[in-house]
Structure formats: C-alpha cells, structure tokens
C-alpha cells in the first residue's frame, strides 16, 4: 500500500472504467471524503447533495457515475460509486495491530489447543481445553475461559471476555471490551430473600458475526444463547440469556433484548430499541429507534414507538402528541358550544 | 458430578417424591429443557403451555406436579417444579474457571493483605492496603485499586475494575468488565469553561450483591455510593454518584440512575428505565421498561411510561396513542357538525 | 494533607472571610456533608433546604453565606459556598493510584516514544510509533494501539482501550473500560449477504476532555470522529463513527449519537437521549432525558420527548397523555349529545 495504486490498477482491480482524459498513471496513496481528500487521494460521489463539492475538491481522482465524469480532472466511472468505494476501502485498509506469534507474556493453559498460526498477544489468558483454529488473533487483555472453541480467522480485540464454553464461528470479530457468556439475570424469591439460579448454558456465535464494543451477551440458563451467521451487533448492546438471534440481523447501538426472545433472519433493531422477554420476532422485522417491544412480531412488520406500534401509526400519532393541548382546548370549546346550544334549544322549546 | 445422581438420590437431596413406576436407580448426568433433554438428562415442567412436550420429550426424567406424574416414564413430583429445578441446577452447575493459588503473573502490592486461600489469576493488579478475605477469587485482568476491602467468598470476574476505596460485602459477584468507583459526572462552570469537581467519596457494596457485565457504578462526590445487601444489577446498568440502593432490589439491563437518587428495599427497575437525580423511590416500587422517572415514588407504586405515570394510567393511555389520528378526525367532524347546527339554528331564527 | 489545614490557611488559600468568633487555628483534616461531617471535617451549605442541618451538624467548620455565619461555631464566608467547596475538594482530593515509573510487567513496543516521566503500570500494552507526552499515566490493562498520540498530563484508567491512531489532547481523562477507536457500524448488502465496510478513519479527542467508564467511541469510516476541547462524556455513552462533538459539551449517561451527526459547542444531552445519524445540532442546544432526536436543531433549542419536540410542548403535552382516556370519553359524550341534538332538531323541523 505504501506504493499506492495507479488509477489504471484501481480500475482493473475494481472493474471500473476510466473517464476520458483521466491520467491512468496517476498514483493514489489513500482515500478520503470529497471535502478532505488531497491530491494523492481518491474520493467518491454517491449522494447527489454533495455534487457541488466536485467543483472544489482537491482529490487526485473521484469515483462517480458516468454523467458526472466530466466535472473532475481524473474520474473512475462506476454504476454504484458507493459500493465501488467500499471495495476501494478494503484495498487501503490496514488491519489493527502488528503483533505476530504467541507472546511469552500470555498465559496459555497447557491443555488448550491452538493451531500454529494463531496470534496471541501479551496479557491474554486462555483456559484449559479451549480450541483456537488457524488464523485467529487474540489481542491483549482478553480472557478466553475453559472449554471455548474459536474457529478460524476470528479477531478478538483487546479486553474482550469469553466465559467458559463460548463458541465462535469462522471469521467472527469481537470488538474491544465485549463480554460473552457472563451469567444471565436469573433469580428466584427464596428463603434467603433472592436466590441465584445457576446459569449452566452457554453462548454460541455463528460465522462472520461482529459483536460491538462493550456489548454483553449472557450465557443461557440452560441450553444456548445463539447469534446467527453474519449478524452484526453494534456497541453497548445487551442480549439476555437464552435469546436466539437469526442470520443477517443488524442490532444498532444500545439496543437490548430480554431473556428467551427469538429473532428471525434479517431483523433490524434501531438504536436504543428494547425488547421484552419471551417474544417472537419474524424475519425482516424492523424495530425503530427507542421503540419498546412488548408483543410478537410477524415477518416483515415495521414498528416504532414505546410501546411499539406499526410504524405508520407511530408516525401519524406522534405528530399529534405535541398538539394534545390544542386538541384538549378544542374539546372544551365544543363542550361549551354544545352546552350553549342545548340551553338555547331549551329556551326555544319554551317559545 | 461426573458420576451423576440416581433419581433416588435426587429425590432425597431435594425432598421430592418419586412417581409410581419411576426407576429410582436411573442415573442422571445433566439438566435441560423438555425440548432439548436427552435420555441421561433431567428436565421440568413449570409452565402449563409446554405440557404437550411431555408426550415428546426424550428426557430421562422430569420434575412435574403430581397431576402430570403419569404422563412420563420417570417423574419426580414437586409442589413447585420451577423452584425444585432451580435447586437441581445448583447440583449440576460448575463454577467458572479452574485456577487456584496466587499467580506469579499477578501484581500484588506488598502492602496488600490477602488471606491464604484467596485465588488471584494472572494479570491481576492489587494495590496497597487492600484487604481480601478468605475464599474470594479474582479473575484475570481485574484492577483492584488501593484501600479496597473485599469480604469473604466474593467472585470478581475478568477485567472488572474496583477503583480505590471500593468495599464489597460477603459473597458478592462482580460480572466481567464492571467498573466500580470511577469518578462521578461532576462539573461546574468555572473560569476555564467547565471545571471538574473532585470525586472524593467511594463505593460500598453489601453482601450477596451481584453486579452485571460492563455495569458502571460511580464513586460518591462525597461520602458513599451504596448498593444494599442482596440487590442484583443486570448488565450495562449506570449508577450515578451518591446513589443509595436498598436491599433486595432488582435492576434490569441498561437501566440507569442519576446522581443522589435513593431507592428503598425490593425496588424493581425494568430494562432501560431511567431515573432522574435527587429522587426518593419507596420500598417495593416498580418502574416499568423504558420508563423515565422524574418524581418521587411512594412505597409500592407501580409506574410506566416516559415521563412515568401510574401503570394503569399508562396502559390505558398508551393504547389510545395509536388512535390519536382517529380522535383528531372525530373532533374535526364534531366541530363541523356543530358549526352546521349553529348555522342551521341561525337560519331557523330567521323563520 | 496528613497535617490538614488551619481555617486561616483555608481562608487565605480560597480567598474567603473567617466569620466572627471562628477559631482560625482550628485544623481541618477532611471534608464531608453536613449530615456526616465530624469535628475534624469541613462542610458547606449551598442549598437552603439543608439549612436546618446547621443546628445539628458535628462539622468542625462550615462554608456558608454571610447571613448564615452566626449559626455555627466556626464558619468560612463565601459568596458562592458551592463553588468555594468545589475548590476545597481539590485540596483534599487524592489522585487514584500510587504507582510510578514504567513497569517491567508492561509491554512497550521498542518503537513507541514515551517521555521520561510517563507512568506505565503493569499489564499495559503500547504499540509501535505511539507517542506519549510528559506527565501522562497509563493504568493496568490498558491497550494503546499503534500510531496513537497522547499529549501531556492525560490519565488513562484501567482497562481502557485506544485502538490504532487515536489522539488525545492535553489533560484528558479516560475512565476505566472506555473504548476509543473500535470499528464503526458500517455494513452494505453485498453478494455474501452483509459486507463489512472497512473503517479506516480514526478518533481525535481534544484537551481537557473526560470520557466516562465503558463509554464507546467508534473510529470514523473515513476521516475522524472528533470530541472537542473540554467536552465531558458520562458512562456508557455511545458515539458512532464520524460524529463531531464541539467544545464544552456535556453528554450524560447512556446517551447515544448515531453516525455522522454533528454537535456544536456547549450542547447538553441528558441521560439516555438518543440522536439519529447525519443531524446537525446547534450551539447550546439541550436534548432532554430519553429524548429521541430525529431532526436538525437550531442554536439554543431545548427539546424533550421521543420523537423530540420543543421542551415546552413536551411538558404541556406529556401531562395530557395520562388523560387520554378521559379525552376519549369526552369525545364520545360529545358525539352522543350532538346526535341527540340533531335528532331533536329533526323533530323540530316537523313542528
């Protein structure tokens, strides 16, 4: 990457067309926004509202749709500039960390089984009978308890915690400080006031999942808490015990799911959404920001508000909430008018 | 546990009755749900809606009420199957971690006082003058600052942080990543814009408390932030400086309490509930999910909504919110009808 | 501090007046609330509702306004007792931790550049090319990735994580477990279902910023996520990628900001407030507790509710929500009355 890429190389790599008069030997060393890009950097135009920036950008080249190609000196033409740019980012991205090997400053239990090319940074603890497969990388301060299983090419960032028996599928990413497999919130009234129900289940995470920073996923009371393949959880998300999340779900920051709730595939939770326990949420359902879900949800339903209601109802009713004082005074006015009328009519009847 | 328990042993241990024709010598090696249990596992039926699963379960034995005893081959009879099962779980649960002793890879300040059977994992830091009593266990990556006091049989899971002066009662459990004793959010406008008010108080936690993963409890500005005996805090809960929480309280995930608010005993906060500062909440009060509390609460009050209102009012009013557009159009209709009437009446008066 | 301060010394240090008959040689060893202070401690009266405690306090001396000076034996007179007391707290506060030097139990990459008086506790990881300036202190379990830059006099508390390229201004404080520079939540639908957009930007924090415990700040997709000078973030706050926060902002616990939203200076977010992405929030705006912001905000606007509305509207409308059932029944009553009237009028027309 230090040598960058020529525009010709980038066009070939990404299957893009070079615009006329573009200097195909121009060398690109980085990527940036139209506003901030410099002459050695590549940028892109996806949102037409930023089109005026094409006239002022200092970017060395820009990925654009064909119709904008004439507006900049050097352009790569793409049908979908945003998607093309996402692929450029892969070329210019650099993985976190530069460590390799297994640090003598880590504690690896003799009964753990790590394949040869697993990276273990200093200050990592790995418990007995844990298996870590090829290409996975464990950053400093991580705790991997006993009987865990981490498939190939996982990245576990600093200070993440996997309690005993946690399983991660291939290529899964755990952002810093996430906690998997801590005890669920299970208590019963007992002789001594509140007694803890032992949480003897575990957490199982599919392939290509991403878990955000400081997100917490509780182990099941019994059985498994499950996050399905390719689902992505943002930061500070809370997943209660025995929750099952399907595949390709997206859970935004600070959303939370109470115990035993089940999500289908491709479900979206917006930021700070909260789901009660023991619910079923169908495939492709969408729960809006700060929405509070208290009922089951069918496939494809889109909900908002707290308690949740269909999004259309939410939009139509929420604009009326600020008008409640007005509605209230109109009702009073009606009541007075009606009273006057009734009195008037009463008088009439005397005539 | 590797040898399991016979049903006779389990019945004796838990004070349960064996159903007729049950094989008392049958050996049980684990516990699971009716759906997932295998022939070596014990399950239970607490919720009648799962009763049909009695006909299909592969469980080796099931804990049931007397009236269901005939439906499975091997049954243990309990008045309260759920409570009985919770006790079975204790028999089959296995504590996290297998380390013992005090690791030479930990940093224990020479002026710290640890009783002989305290467990200290690698990569633990323990500051000066901190006292840790018998049977407590400190997992990897924990930071225990100076002048802390940890009573007997506490378990402090990986990467938890106790800043200086934090006190834990007996048998308290700190889940991974929890932070106790960080600075409260105290600032005053000053010459330099915003000045930090030093937070010189501390955090004191009672006996048998449990603090969830990545939960944060701020030290007092002055005096103490207090969590009372046997209270249980779920994951990602925020407790502001100088908050006092009584005994036997339950705070669900992502709930938050602002500075100086006081909770009585047996208070329940549902998930994502938020309490303003300087409030008083009486014993046995319940604050519903996502509810926003802005006023004091009497003993036993049950609230919901944001801002909080009595739960009954909340339930009755929240079903009307989606109907606001309908209410609005009905008011308009009334206004038009009344106008027509008035006009009509006006005409009448000309006749 | 072990020798304490005489009242004369404190008065001189803080520019306060000694009340008549106050023993200027009286020695003070600590500070506390009126309720809890002992005879060697100093307290203060700021809020008049606590004035009755002046008659019962055991405090050795009290900071009061002039008019209250006669009510206690020893008094220091201040125009603003709260501000004066905040300054006293600085005198009596003791910094966290007692370690100095650079621990041999830390991992400091040979290509990192640390000035001589930087403190590095055990179990700290510092990556290559990272620069840490004079007076900064890194507590146990912190991860400072490659290419970071930490200016002078920063304090980074235990188990905080700074991923590659993170920059901290002078005197900035990172509370325990905070994560800066983790990947933003960026995904696009692709051939393989959901593809990760590499997050190649970074996080830049100004001078005198404070970041709360377990708060998460994502790196930019491109460019920088920015927290301006002297802004203060409470615990468990979520900051999405490419967010820009101005100077002197205060973000309370569990608030969250979605990607690319921009805050001006002196903005306040109350607890659990949530902001959608790509918004602009003007200077001195205030977003209330649990408020959900979905639109741009002008300078000085004060908002509440979810979705957000002007605070006045929110206050006036939210008191009417519990009265919706009443409004509903009044509308029904009106409808019936009107129907009766109309029928009546119909009858009239026959007469």
Residue in chain A closest to B314 (alpha carbons) equals: A307
Residue in chain C closest to B108 (alpha carbons) equals: C122
Residue in chain B closest to C96 (alpha carbons) equals: B164
Residue C163 has pLDDT above 50, yes or no: yes
Q: Provide the number of CB pairs (under 8 Å) joining chain A to chain C.
A: 196
Q: Residue B336, exposed/middle/buried by CB under 10 A (0-12, 13-18, 19+)?
A: exposed
Residue C192 has pLDDT above 90, yes or no: no
Give the pLDDT means over successive 10-residue stretches in chain B (351 positions).
Answer: 85 93 94 91 90 94 93 93 88 93 98 97 98 98 98 98 98 98 89 85 98 98 96 98 97 98 98 97 98 98 97 96 94 92 55 32
| pLDDT the model gives residue C348 | 43
ipTM: 0.93
| pLDDT the model gives residue B339 | 87
Q: Which residues fall within 8 angstroms of residue B95, CB to CB, at 6 or more apart?
A: B155
Q: Which residues fall within 8 angstroms of residue C155, CB to CB, at 6 or more apart?
A: C95, C96, C136, C137, C139, C172, C173, C174
Compute the distance between CA of residue B104 and CA of residue C83 in angstroms, rounded to an integer.
Answer: 47
Closest CB from A107, A127, A159 relative to B159: A159
Alpha carbons within 13 A on the beta-carbon side of C107:
24
DSSP C198: P
| pLDDT the model gives residue A345 | 56
Mean pLDDT, to the nearest integer, of A299-328? Answer: 96
| pLDDT the model gives residue C345 | 56
| pLDDT the model gives residue B258 | 98
A292 touches chain B (CB under 8 A): yes
Q: Which of C125, C127, C257 to probe by mutation at the A interface, max A CB count within 10 Å?
A: C125
Helix (H) or strand (E) holding C77: strand C75-77
Q: Which residues of C touch A175 (CB under 8 A)?
A: 179, 182-183
Q: Which of C140, C197, C257 to probe by mutation at the A interface, max A CB count within 10 Å?
A: C197
Q: What confidence category does residue A191 fall into, taking pLDDT thresholds of 50, 70 and 90? A: low
B254 touches chain A (CB under 8 A): yes
A255-301, pLDDT tens digit by residue?
999 999 999 999 999 999 999 999 999 999 999 999 999 999 999 99
Which residue, among B206, B190, B210, B208, has the nearest Cα to B198 in the 3D structure? B190
Compute the distance between CA of residue A221 and CA of residue B211 in angstroms, rounded to an integer.
Answer: 17
C203-241, pLDDT tens digit by residue?
999 999 999 999 999 999 999 999 999 999 999 999 999
| pLDDT the model gives residue B307 | 96
Compute the distance between CA of residue B330 and CA of residue B340 in angstroms, rounded to an integer.
Answer: 15
Q: Report yes or no: B256 and C235 within 8 Å, Cβ to Cβ.
A: no
Which residue, among B107, B101, A101, has the nearest Cα to C105 in the 3D structure? B107
> Of C229, C241, C244, C278, which is the active-site residue?
C241
Task: Please answer yes or no on whether A123 and C127 come within 8 Å at the CB atom.
Answer: no
Pick the range with the lowest mean pLDDT from A158-167, A282-291, B236-245, C25-34: C25-34
Partner chains of A (3+ C-beta pairs under 8 Å)? B, C
Q: In whole angstroms, how far apart are CA A146 and each of A126, A161, A166, B94, B102? A: 7, 12, 9, 12, 18
Closest CB from B31, B327, B342 relative to A341: B342
Whole-number percent of chain C with pLDDT over 70: 96
Residues of C (220-249) whose Cβ lies below 8 Å from A: 221-223, 236, 238, 240
A13-54, pLDDT tens digit by residue?
989 999 999 999 999 999 998 988 999 999 999 888 889 999
Mean pLDDT, to the nearest integer, of C140-155? Answer: 98
CA angle A124/A210/A300 to nearest 5° reads 155
C270-312, pLDDT tens digit by residue?
999 999 999 999 999 999 999 999 999 999 999 999 999 999 9
Mean pLDDT, to the nearest integer, of A140-165? Answer: 98
C166-188, pLDDT tens digit by residue?
999 999 999 999 999 999 999 98
Q: Which residues of A touch B345 (CB under 8 A)?
A: 341, 344-345
φ/ψ (deg, to 5) at C10:
-65, -45
A243-256, pLDDT tens digit by residue?
999 999 999 999 99
Task: Please answer yes or no on whether A182 and B213 come within 8 Å at the CB atom.
Answer: yes
Q: What confidence category does residue C2 fall into, taking pLDDT thresholds of 50, 70 and 90? A: low
Q: From the CA of A115, how many Å to the nearest CA of chain B? A: 22
| pLDDT the model gives residue A2 | 61
Residues of C (22-41) whose Cβ lies below 8 Å from A: none
Compute the distance between CA of residue A173 and CA of residue A222 in angstroms, rounded to an integer.
Answer: 25
Which residue, among B237, B246, B306, has the nearest Cα to B282 in the 3D structure? B246
Residue in chain B closest to C230 (alpha carbons) equals: B194
Q: Which of C126, C143, C343 to probe by mutation at the A interface, max A CB count within 10 Å?
A: C143
C119-133, pLDDT tens digit by residue?
999 999 999 999 999
Q: What is the 3-state secondary structure (H, E, C) of C318-334?
A: HCCHHHHHHHHHHHHHH
Task: Please answer yes or no on whether B200 and C250 come within 8 Å at the CB atom.
Answer: no
Task: Say whether A280 sits in a helix, a strand or coil.
Answer: strand
| pLDDT the model gives residue B191 | 67
Q: And the tokens for C75?
A: 């008094």
Residue with tokens 């992405």: C277
Alpha helices by DSSP H, listed for chain A, are: 7-14, 81-92, 311-318, 324-350
| pLDDT the model gives residue B3 | 79
Task: Please answer yes or no on whether A318 and C307 come within 8 Å at the CB atom.
Answer: yes
Q: Report yes or no: C344 and A349 within 8 Å, Cβ to Cβ.
A: no
Q: What confidence category does residue C136 fall into, taking pLDDT thresholds of 50, 70 and 90? A: very high
Which residue, among A267, A292, A265, A297, has the nearest Cα to A279 in the 3D structure? A297
Q: What is the mean pLDDT of chain A?
A: 94
C338 touches chain A (CB under 8 A): yes
Q: And the tokens for B180?
A: 């106790």
Which residue, among C165, C166, C151, C164, has the nearest Cα to C207 in the 3D structure? C151
Task: Say whether B69 sits in a helix, a strand or coil.
Answer: helix
Residue A116 has pLDDT above 70, yes or no: yes
The number of residues making up chain B comes to 351
Task: Please answer yes or no on whether C182 and A157 come within 8 Å at the CB atom.
Answer: yes
- The pTM assigned to this predicted structure is 0.94
φ/ψ (deg, to 5) at A58:
-100, 10
Q: From the CA of B245, how many Å to the nearest CA of chain C? A: 18
A187 touches chain B (CB under 8 A): yes
Give how far the C-alpha of residue B260 lies from the chain's centroid of Cα atoms, to the nearest Å. Answer: 21
Compute the distance between CA of residue A272 and CA of residue C181 in angstroms, rounded to an integer.
Answer: 21
Residue with tokens 């602002």: B258
Compute the distance between CA of residue B37 and CA of residue B29 in angstroms, rounded to an integer.
Answer: 11
Residues of B (33-92) whose Cβ lies below 8 Å from C: none
Q: Residue B321, exposed/middle/buried by CB under 10 A (0-12, 13-18, 19+)?
A: buried
């Amino acid at each position: 990457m230090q040598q960058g890429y020529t525009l010709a190389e980038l066009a070939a790599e990404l299957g893009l067309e070079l615009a006329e008069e573009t200097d195909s030997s121009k060398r690109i060393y980085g990527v940036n926004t139209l506003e901030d890009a410099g002459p050695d950097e590549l940028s892109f135009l996806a949102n037409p509202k930023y089109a005026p920036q094409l006239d002022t950008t200092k970017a060395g080249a820009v990925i654009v749709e064909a119709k904008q190609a004439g507006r900049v000196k050097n352009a790569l033409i793409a049908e979908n500039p945003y998607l093309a740019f996402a692929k450029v980012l892969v070329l210019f991205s650099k993985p976190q960390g530069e460590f390799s090997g297994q640090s003598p400053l880590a504690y690896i239990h003799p009964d753990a089984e790590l394949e040869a090319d697993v990276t273990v940074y200093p200050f990592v603890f790995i418990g007995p009978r844990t298996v870590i497969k090829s290409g996975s990388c464990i950053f400093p301060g991580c705790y991997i308890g006993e009987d865990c299983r981490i498939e190939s090419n996982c990245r576990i960032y600093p200070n993440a915690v996997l309690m005993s028996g946690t399983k991660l599928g291939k290529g899964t990413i755990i952002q810093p400080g996430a906690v998997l497999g801590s005890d669920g919130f299970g208590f019963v009234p007992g002789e001594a006031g509140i007694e803890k129900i032992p949480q003897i289940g575990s957490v199982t995470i599919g392939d290509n999942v991403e878990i955000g920073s400081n997100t917490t996923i509780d182990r099941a009371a019994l059985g498994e808490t499950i996050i399905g393949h390719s689902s992505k959880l943002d930061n500070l998300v809370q997943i209660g015990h025995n929750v099952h999340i399907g595949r390709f779900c997206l859970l935004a920051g600070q959303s939370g799911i109470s115990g035993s709730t089940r999500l289908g595939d491709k479900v979206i939770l917006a930021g700070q959404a909260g789901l009660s326990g023991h619910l079923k949420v169908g495939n492709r359902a969408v729960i809006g920001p700060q929405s509070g879900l208290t009922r089951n949800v069918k496939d494809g339903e889109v909900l908002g508000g707290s308690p949740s209601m269909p999004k259309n109802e939410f939009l139509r009713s929420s604009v009326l909430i600020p008008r409640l004082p007005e509605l209230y005074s109109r009702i009073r006015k009606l009541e007075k008018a009606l009273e006057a009328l009734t009195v008037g009519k009463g008088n009439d009847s005397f005539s």
